[in-house]
Structure formats: structure tokens, C-alpha cells
Amino acid sequence: MKETEFSDGWLSGLTQVVRDPVLYELLKNCPLEIMQRWVFEEVPRGAMLCRQGDKCQRFSLIVAGEVDVFFEAEDGRRYRQARYYKGDMLGELEIFESRHYICSVSAVTNTQILSLSQTHFCRWLELDNYFNQRMLRFFSQQYYQLSRKASSDNLYSLHQRVCQALWLQFQQQKTTEIFIDKQNISQEFAATTRSVNRILHDLKSLLIIDTEGERVVLLAPEQLKQEADI
């Protein structure tokens, strides 16, 4: 992981923030004394940004790229909680009391982040009421999405959730030929790839879909919708 403090390339880092509407909106009232404390990092694809169980000692903001937030079970299975993008925050829950990370975070793509120590993060909150309001909205959105996901996980069987995932892709792509990432689905639903394959095989036996590797062809979309219980 390559680190460059803004004290070395501070102007170029500041320019990157100012030119991006999403980042500028979040940081536009950040005091100069805090802006000078940001650390800019380039994280390669696949690298860990946070590791479950480690002590949190910094707050981070995603400048570019995508990351997965996941819980890892003792047997190595990963349960993906969310995918974060530009403007999303990391360590915002654990930073206040230097708690241990609840989940791990890994870079899905080459990613850039800005980080602050706990001391400077808390100082920012003291000085910037606008950022306080953004934090509250972020917490609200995060809690809403996690509650929605937890409700779905409890109310629907794995069979129904896989069908829902296929139906969602069908609705988004507007085509009966879609491609799925079985490992990604397994992590999102905390299931084994074998279980996902078994469900796809059952749907194929019912002539609802046809499959070839990661390629899925919807033969009976309305029947899939019924299986998804939507």
C-alpha cells in the first residue's frame, strides 16, 4: 500500500477533491487545519483496508474505486454486508472509542482513500457542523440498508433470494441473457457456492432458466418471479 501525506503532494490532492462534486460537497467546510492532516493512500485491487478484529485507529473516506464490506466466519466463509463507493466512509462506527473492526474491508478495484487519525477526526466533528449533519444522514442510510437486508435474509429462503437476485438483474439489464458471479452471490447470502449451484440446477430442471458457466438464460421470467415471491 502506497502512502503519500498531503504535506508532500497537498495541492494536487486538494485539487482532486475540489474538482469532484461528490467529494467537494462532503469536504467543502472542512477546516484548513484538518485538510492538512489528511493522508492519501492508493490501495491495489484485492488488498485489505480494514481487517475484522483489528483495532480501529483511523477514519477513511473513499476517493475513488469500490470496496466490499464483509463479515468472515471462523470456517472462512464471507458474508458481504455492503459494497461502498466514492464518498462512502470506513471506520465511522469504530473510530470514536477505538473499537475493533466489526467487519473486514477489501478493495474490489484499485482504490484511493483519504484517512484521518482519531484525534483529527474528532476535531473535525467539533469544528464542522455541516459534516456532523452528513454523518447523521450517512448513519441513517447505512442503518436503513442493513435493516432491509437483515429483514430479507430472515423472511426469505436462500432459494427465494437467489431467484430475487436473478430477477433484479433481469429488470436492470432488460435482457433474458444475464451473467452471474456465483462467488459474489454466495458471499452476499452467506451460503456455499455448492448451495447456489444446487438452486440454479433446480431452476434449470423446472425449465425456468438455462445455464452455461456464469451465463444464465431466463426461459420463463414470470415463473422466476413467482419463485422469488415478489
Whether the CB-CB separation of 55 and 62 falls below 8 Å is answered with no
Of 88, 71, 87, 82, the C-alpha closest to 17 is 87
Q: Which amino acid is at 134?
A: R
What pLDDT, in 10s, does the model give residues 135-179?
888 888 877 777 777 766 777 888 888 888 888 888 888 888 888
Q: How confident is the model at residue 12 (pLDDT cuts 50, 70, 90)?
A: low
Whether the CB-CB separation of 112 and 43 falls below 8 Å is answered with yes
So what's the pLDDT on residue 13?
63
Of 55, 25, 51, 45, the C-alpha closest to 117 is 55
CA separation for the pair 79, 103 (Å, rounded): 9
So what's the pLDDT on residue 10?
60
Q: Is the pLDDT of residue 50 over 50?
A: yes
Q: pTM for the full model?
A: 0.66
Q: CB pairs under 8 A, 24+ apart, for 219-226? A: 219/176, 221/167, 221/170, 221/176, 224/163, 224/166, 224/167, 224/170, 225/163, 225/167
What pLDDT, in 10s, does the model give residues 181-191?
887 787 777 77
